[in-house]
Structure 1
Amino acid sequence: MPCPLTLEEAMEHEMKHGRLFNDPNNVDLKKIRRIVSNRLSAQRSRIKIVNYTSDSEKMIKDLEDRISILISQVESSKEKKILLELENDSLQRELEKRSTKSKSLELAIEEERSQIKLIKEPEKTAQKNKGKEIQDLHFQPPKVTKHEL
């Protein structure tokens, strides 16, 4: 849009080329000044509307672009979420399997320990009895000296 004229410039232009000065008997400068001022004001208003519309259209385009980008990000995030949920389910199942296996191994180890304990008990008892027999065989009464009598 062309740059609006000042009131003085517009008055000069109107005096040279305008319709308001067609009748030289009907020249009221105040009236002409007001008409020209109103025209300039209307022109400035139209320029503001055009600028506002242009800025709004640019903002709309920028927002539409942003929405487009965000929509693709949301879709990508949804896909990632689904994959992570599947992976989580798989890992939960694996954890349950390993936990069950670990418990069964702990029970098996505990059972083996109790069997070992049962096997070692008779051996310990036999070793203790054997040790007493050996001590009894090597038992020597204490020597009595003359002084003790």
Structure 2
Amino acid sequence: MKRVHHIFVTGVIAALLVSQARASTPAQHYFLQTGADLEQVCANPVDARNIQPTERERLLVCGSYIQGYLSHYALVRGELANAPFCLPQTGVSGEQIRVLLVTLLQRKPQIRDLPASVDLATSIAWAYGCSGAASTSAQGGTPKPAAQ
């Protein structure tokens, strides 16, 4: 029952974050069913120095999805028999995770049809595998993906 409560609370938080990000322009809809959908929402902006409002909204949806996923993981990780990944003690940013996801989906296009949450978990495990937690850089930057 405790786990169901955690999942429900995390789902409500993620829904609120996504709906808040979408409130500015209700005409744009994002469907985050597959990795391809998530890749499209999380793609790099055309011009990082001059991000347009539609791109800002798209990236907010991406960030909300990532934060919701990581919040859910934080709630249930103690109940998991085997952790799917081991984040560094110093933490990671949503931007680091976004870059990992986009990189994985560009390198492995065959997994784009998997559920978005599976592709996100795979990208995190790819860089932060528990057996190779030393794959992160000393400066705390984006880790180098583990050997494929």
| TM-score (norm. length: structure 1) | 0.23
Query: Higher Cα Rg: structure 1 or 2?
Result: 1
Structure whose residues are more often helix by fraction: 1
TM-score (norm: length of structure 2): 0.23
